[in-house]
Structure 1
Amino acid sequence: MAHVNRDKKKLLTRVRRVAGQVAALEHALEADADCADVLIQIAAAKGAIHGLMMEVLSGHLAEHVVAEASPTKRAREAQAIVELLKGYAK
């Protein structure tokens, strides 16, 4: 997972964005915010998580699928990503 270590600063920035969105959602619920405002915060949190997922997935594909020399390992990594995406899409 060299890409995760290499991109650590960028990924941590995204994680902190997720944490901020979730904190804002918690605050909205505690403050009895209007349901439309709560929905906006949920969408923002989901978007932040999705952005983090795409960033890590992009690096994983580049390093562990596209650049993998072994066809067997490449196929195994590709299948693992397919399974991951099936669960993520639920």
Structure 2
Amino acid sequence: MAHTVKDKAKLLARVRRIQGQTAGLERLLDSETDCTAVLQQIAAIRGAVNGLMAAVIEGHLTDHVVKEAEQAQRQRDLDAVLQIIKSYLK
């Protein structure tokens, strides 16, 4: 079973929290709130997205790299996640 299926409830809970945070950011901007509150909300959203990314990467590395029996497939899975990490960090 894929890790995103196995961890589906936890991952969806994280996504829903991010949605709530972005809705809160929209409300702050719409109400012309002080910029420090806006910056704090943006930082919270970034932290939440980074946490989600870390959870999915951890599951991927565990299930598709560490536990993969076939060396060639393990390398392909590792290469794919490394490319995604590089793109994410740009």
TM-score (norm 1): 0.95
For residues 35-54 of structure 1, the aligned pairs below 5 Å read 35-54=35-54
**Which ranges of structure 2 fall in alignment gaps of 5 or more residues?**
none
1:84 equivalent in alignment to 2:84: yes
The CA distance in 1 between the partners of 2:33 and 2:53, in whole Å, is 28
The CA distance in 2 between the partners of 1:81 and 1:6, in whole Å, is 19
**Which ranges of structure 1 fall in alignment gaps of 5 or more residues?**
none
TM-score (norm 2): 0.95
Q: How many residues align?
A: 90
The CA distance in 1 between the partners of 2:41 and 2:80, in whole Å, is 31
- Which consecutive segments of 4 or more residues in structure 1 shift more than 6 A? none
Q: Percent identity?
A: 51
The CA distance in 2 between the partners of 1:56 and 1:4, in whole Å, is 7
The CA distance in 2 between the partners of 1:7 and 1:57, in whole Å, is 12
The CA distance in 1 between the partners of 2:17 and 2:45, in whole Å, is 8
The CA distance in 1 between the partners of 2:28 and 2:22, in whole Å, is 10
